[in-house]
Amino acid sequence: MRELYSVDREGNKVLLVPTGNKVSRVPIHPTPESLYVSHRALFPLPTSSTPGLNRAFLSQLRALLRIILPKPLCKESFMLALHSAFLVLRTVLSVAVARLDGRLVRDLVSADWKGFLKGLGLWFLLAIPSTYTNAMLRYLQSKLSLAFRTRLTRYTHDLYLSPNLEYYRLIDSGYLNGGADQYITNDVQRFCDALSALYGNLLKPTLDMIIFTTQLAHSLGGLGTVGLFANYFFTGYVLRRVTPAFGKLAAVEARLEGEYRAGVGRIGRESEEIAFYGGGLREKSILARAYQRLISHVNSIYKIRIAYEWTEDYIIKYLWSATGYMLMSIPVFLIPTRSVGVQAGELGGKVWDQVSGRTESYISNRRLLLSLADAGGRLMYSNKDLAELAGYTSRVYTLLSTLHHLDATPVSLTSHLTSNPDRIALTEVNVAAPGQLLVRDLNLVVERGEHTCIVGANGVGKTAIARVVAGLWEAEEGEVERPLEREDVMVVPQRAYLTAGSLRDQVIYPFAYPQHISTGGTDAQLQDILKEAHLEYLLDREGGWDTVKEWKDVLSGGEKQRMGMARLFYHKPSFAILDECTSAVSTDVESHLYNHAKSLGITILTISTRPALIKYHTRLLKILGDGRGGWELTKVGTEEERMEVDREIGELERRLGEVGGWEGRLGVIKGELGV
């Protein structure tokens, strides 16, 4: 599977998306670093306040709007304007339909068949723009949500996967509950859906209430208008008092959903280790508890909503309808009919006209009142939607503020980093894990060709030194000198990472196919690399370079480690840190891998607990693990190093000399057992 993208003249990536027989070009513009710097002040770390309709919510929403609406004239702004135009058009059409409905009933009561047929024709004509407007409103809301999500997702991806390694530093930040995957995928989607839906759910009912109230004020008079506003204020007061903290509930639900999702993902990632231990039942109980916490919370939300929705429906549907009948009765009961001094025939005609007029007014006003009740209901419901949006806003804001905080965290350490493409040097460096000093005042200079082996017991700080050299950790004190370009220093870990993609992608990672081609790479070159890594047979076994599989399940442990070495041979960095990356490889193949790496001009720093690897290096750094950060640096082949090897050989010979005694004891035991 080859990567479907190219690079334009400005250096921007262009995705090539197949659509039928054509290929669409979608430009991807990376977020400039200057934008993140300007946004940093908008994203301070959130306080522990409960998500809700408060100042913190408005501040957080304003910061997120700066991302999804970056400037007044953008694609999203145009879509918002178009959506607003259709919302206004829908309200105007609703008034026209209400008036036409009253006219139809008037003509029907008056037996005016010509007027009735004319009104029926207008009804069908109005149906065309009305139905089209409804469809466009749903379409534009979905497009808005997708546009918001696209912009916010790209912004988050560029920040999360930046060269500053936020995706790595986020692990130990302690700010996010669970992994970032729930925040980036589910929470961003929910936020964008809720925001786009809320815009229509707020603007449309607000327009409806303004226009419908204005129209009704002409029919109901001053007293009826006062009654309308009194009904609004009473409804708002009651619903405000009975509305639960939906924002907090939504935030807690999202957190529990993330914990449950993280549990499922952990089982998928660590399935082999769990299977070795037979831990299926244990993992099932852990997962069941996480799911039970989630459904218990969701059930509590459902129970809380019973009282709220009962009150809401009672007020919006029935109280508003009863109020509407009372308001419509004002023109009828409080305005007397003047019929004195009129002849019988004339009286009958006027009464009939009054009846048809009142019928028209009643039907129109009733439809407007029903629409008004619906608008009021949606406006009141939006209070709940706003509270839920506050919960999603808090989650997305927490993610972005954490990433900005990691990127902007000032280094309080006293170490100093210097760029030098020709060597790696650690001068008076203190290497520490959180709360524990591992290596004190380390002085190590690795020039090109000075292959160095770092040995010591488990947990003494060998890998920590590799993290400092690779730039993943900051040293507490001292000066670090190394190549700053990441392609000049490559780390090959013990547990090889296999990416999604083809067999070719496993060798050239982190390059993609276009980068491989742009550097003059060929499949023949890759085949030679696989041959040096003793993996050439994979081409025939797996079906060629373009075969796509779940490689972590296809390759064995030794094959994975040799694939890591094949990547090393492909990229040919100046320095390579090999962290037990050949522990599952046979001795003869391991020897070939080390010798070939050195023949490519790669300076090797090996982290190992096996003395057998010392012979491939010129110097030996031993981490003592004495609790005081002690270390020893010697040259391989010196008298001291030979004495160390002689002591190890002597210990092995002593143990071999005891084999006869062990065999004799084994015979005695077999005799006693009758074997």
State the pLDDT confidence band at 17, using cuts at 50, 70 and 90. low
In the chain, the percentage of residues whose pLDDT exceeds 90 is 9
Tell me: pLDDT of 338 over 50: no
- Note the pLDDT of residue 669: 79
In the chain, the percentage of residues whose pLDDT exceeds 70 is 72
State the pLDDT confidence band at 346, using cuts at 50, 70 and 90. very low
pLDDT digits (tens, 9 = 90+) for 39-52: 888 888 777 666 77
25-30 contacts at long range (C-beta below 8 A, 24 or more positions apart): 28/154, 30/158
Q: Stretch 652-672: mean pLDDT, rounded?
A: 78
Range from 266-280, 385-399, 415-429, 549-563 that averages highest in pLDDT = 549-563
| Residue that wins the pLDDT comparison between 515 and 18 | 515
Tell me: pLDDT of 350 over 60: no
- Bridge partners (DSSP) of residue 490 are 576
- Note the pLDDT of residue 359: 61
- Note the pLDDT of residue 172: 59
- Note the pLDDT of residue 24: 66
- Note the pLDDT of residue 105: 67
State the pLDDT confidence band at 160, using cuts at 50, 70 and 90. confident
State the pLDDT confidence band at 645, using cuts at 50, 70 and 90. low
The closest alpha carbon to 250, from 292, 301, 296, belongs to 301
- Note the pLDDT of residue 339: 41
State the pLDDT confidence band at 1, using cuts at 50, 70 and 90. very low
The fold of 34-46+61-336+349-405 is ABC transporter transmembrane region fold (1.20.1560)
- Note the pLDDT of residue 371: 64
pLDDT digits (tens, 9 = 90+) for 442-501: 888 999 989 999 988 888 888 888 888 888 888 778 888 888 787 888 888 888 888 878
Tell me: pLDDT of 349 over 70: no
> Helix, strand, coil shares of the chain as percentages rounded to 5?
65, 10, 25
- Note the pLDDT of residue 593: 93
Q: Which single residue is written with the structure tokens 């054509």? A: 22
| Residue that wins the pLDDT comparison between 319 and 349 | 319
What mean pLDDT, rounded, does the chain reach?
Answer: 77
- Note the pLDDT of residue 177: 60
Tell me: pLDDT of 640 over 70: no
Q: Which two tokens stand for residue 371?
A: 């629409």
pLDDT digits (tens, 9 = 90+) for 75-122: 888 888 888 888 888 878 877 777 777 677 676 667 677 777 887 788
**Of the ranges 15-19, 20-24, 343-347, 523-527, which one carries the lowest mean pLDDT score?**
343-347
pLDDT digits (tens, 9 = 90+) for 294-317: 888 888 887 877 777 777 667 666
- Note the pLDDT of residue 566: 93
Tell me: pLDDT of 167 over 70: yes
CA–CA gap between residue 171 and residue 162 (Å, rounded)? 15
List phi, psi (to 5°) of 439: -135, 130
Q: Stretch 8-34: mean pLDDT, rounded?
A: 65
- Note the pLDDT of residue 227: 66
Q: How many CB atoms lie within 10 A of CB 258?
A: 24
Tell me: pLDDT of 342 over 60: no
- Note the pLDDT of residue 575: 92
> Measuring CA to CA, how many Å separate 413 from each of 326, 408, 409, 416, 549?
74, 14, 11, 9, 44
Beta-sheet pairing, 423-433 with 477-482: antiparallel
Tell me: pLDDT of 330 over 70: no
CATH number for the region 418-636 comes to 3.40.50.300
Q: Stretch 559-567: mean pLDDT, rounded?
A: 92
State the pLDDT confidence band at 578, using cuts at 50, 70 and 90. very high
**Of the ranges 176-190, 220-234, 284-298, which one carries the lowest mean pLDDT score?**
220-234
CA 500, 502, 508 angle in degrees (round to 5)? 90
**Of the ranges 56-60, 547-551, 586-590, 637-641, which one carries the lowest mean pLDDT score?**
637-641
**Of the ranges 184-188, 519-523, 604-608, 638-642, which one carries the lowest mean pLDDT score?**
638-642
Tell me: pLDDT of 412 over 50: no
* Cα dihedral 604, 610, 616, 621 in deg (nearest 10): 60
Lateral strand order in the sheet of 13-19: 5-7, 13-19, 22-28
Diameter of the chain measured on Cα atoms: 140
Please say whether the beta carbons of 460 and 436 come within 8 A: no
Please say whether the beta carbons of 434 and 172 come within 8 A: yes
- Note the pLDDT of residue 373: 63
Is the bond preceding 510 in cis, omega lying within 30 degrees of 0?
A: yes
pLDDT digits (tens, 9 = 90+) for 226-268: 666 676 667 666 766 767 776 677 778 877 887 787 777 777 6
Q: Stretch 111-140: mean pLDDT, rounded?
A: 82
Q: How many CB atoms lie within 10 A of CB 496?
A: 22
